[in-house]
Amino acid sequence: MYYARTPVEYEALFISRSQQRIAELGAQLADEFSRNDVDNYKAELIVELEYAIGVLNSTDLAWSPDDIRMMIDYYTEYAELTAFGFRSMVFEPTRLAQSCDCDTILTMIQNINNTADSNYDYFSNWINQVNQDWQDGDTAIWDYINNVVGGAPVLAADLISEQSTGGILEGDQWAEGDLIEDVLRDLLKPLPTIENFTFDSWVDLIEIGETLIITQFTWTSENAPTNITISDNQGVMVDVPVTGNVFTPPTPYPYNFDFGKTITWTIKADKVEDVTIDVTSVYASYFDKETTATDDSVTITEAIVLNAVTKILSRTSEDVTLPVSTTNVEQGFIAVAKAQTFTPYTKWRVNDNNNATIGVGEFILPPVDVIVDGVTYSAYRWGYRSPLIDNLKLLR
């Protein structure tokens, strides 16, 4: 009807079936759109209609675009569709999570043949430049790709992503010949995540000289991270492969903190930002008090420090805070390892109305040295008739 020569019998049968399918799809679409609802079936019919049109377009009868339009108009008259009218239909899937640029993905898929054959730059630029926030919750888009684009054309050249977008990270690569469908799957998959990485004996700080024993690591994850490994900066664990959300070493791992250091553990996985935890070893700080009825400063000894009523672990390079309680017949002291203070503290503070400098004649006296377990400590004292029950901070 719309061609320049008479097709042979097998061509005519081929064409007739394609025309019949177009008419059937047009009628089904008309029925679907008459209900004015939103579902995946409309999208599936649209894509199948395009494939039926592609069947006609793939013959060697050299039809022009106008001829194709006339044919589609004729065989979809009942559906009231025009040649490429379905391209303008708005596809809005039900959103179960974040929104997505559905029109963009639909247009891209409709042009997927051109993408692979002669318009590679279009696809590459779209992957690297489109601003999109698709999530796995956009199930209509995911199903649309997953169920319809099977057997899609392959990449016409190697592809390297120039930025992170969707489930693709900057630097991700695909080779010439890879299915475009696979790239789309990567794009639509939400990135995996790992959180709450810890181990059973984790503490922020540990006293220098202690040994930490680890019997189990745990973490939480989403979107099935792959190739998970755990390492530490001590060489005890070097890219140890783990699975799931729990790892129990075959024998507990001991970590010695004799020398005072920070030990860091790192969990890694494909497409996941590294997650780290650490433990820092510090010297303990002490508070205690001595009963006295004179203004003479009591002598702070190793035994007095080691028997202190309060012992805390704290980073003390900038300041140190301890809860204190002294009456008007007691002298109190705070002892801090000199190796962690670097230089003496110069101020003390309880609150905005109770603070001053440290020095001779002041509430807090200049520090004196005392050796505790071979470590030099600075002992800061305050005197008789100076009751204090509060948190006391020493700082610079």
Q: Which domain holds residue 386?
A: 283-395
3, part of any domain: no
Whether residues 164 and 297 share a domain: the answer is no
Residues 33 and 54 occupy one common structural domain: yes
Mean pLDDT (whole number) for 84-104: 36
In sequence order, the β-bridge partners of residue 253 are: 214
The per-residue pLDDT for range 211-234, each reduced to its tens digit, is: 999 999 999 999 889 999 999 999
Q: Residue 228 falls within a domain, yes or no? A: yes
CA distance 221 to 118: 41
pTM: 0.60
Whats the size of the chain, residue-wise? 396
- Flag whether 4 is in a domain: no
Query: Considering the domain boundaries, does residue 2 fall inside one?
Result: no
Residues 55 and 159 in one domain: yes
Considering the domain architecture, whether residues 201 and 173 belong to the same structural domain is answered as no
Q: Are 263 and 360 part of one and the same domain?
A: no
Residues 28 and 177 in one domain: yes
> What is the rounded end-to-end Cα distance, in angstroms, of the chain?
95
Cα distances from 321 to residues 106, 217, 249, 328, in angstroms, run 61, 32, 38, 21
Considering the domain architecture, whether residues 222 and 310 belong to the same structural domain is answered as no
Domain termination site, one of 265, 281, 297 = 281
Question: Does 1 map to a domain?
Answer: no
> Which of 27-36, 195-204, 329-338 has the lowest average pLDDT?
27-36
**Residue 118 belongs to a domain:** yes
Same domain, 27 and 113: yes
Q: Are residues 287 and 274 in the same domain?
A: no
Question: 286 and 311 in contact (C-beta within 8 Å)?
Answer: yes
> How many structural domains comprise the chain?
3
**Of 188, 209, 234, which one is at a domain's C-terminal end?**
188
pLDDT recorded at residue 34: 67
Question: What is the C-alpha to C-alpha distance for residues 313 and 181, in angstroms, rounded to an integer?
Answer: 56
Contact 152, 179 (CB under 8 A): yes
- Cα distances (angstroms) measured from residue 159 to each of 121, 173, 174: 10, 6, 5
Half-sphere exposure of 354 (CA within 13 A, CB side): 12
Shared domain check, 354 and 246: no
pLDDT digits (tens, 9 = 90+) for 296-340: 788 899 999 999 999 999 999 999 999 999 988 889 999 999 999
27-36, 107-116, 372-381: least confident range: 107-116
Query: For the domain that residue 255 is a member of, what is the CATH number?
Result: 2.60.40
Say yes or no: 380 and 316 in one domain.
Answer: yes
Q: Do 151 and 299 have their domain in common? A: no
Q: Does the CA dihedral 65-67-70-72 come out positive or negative?
A: negative
Residue that is last in its domain, among 171, 188, 205: 188
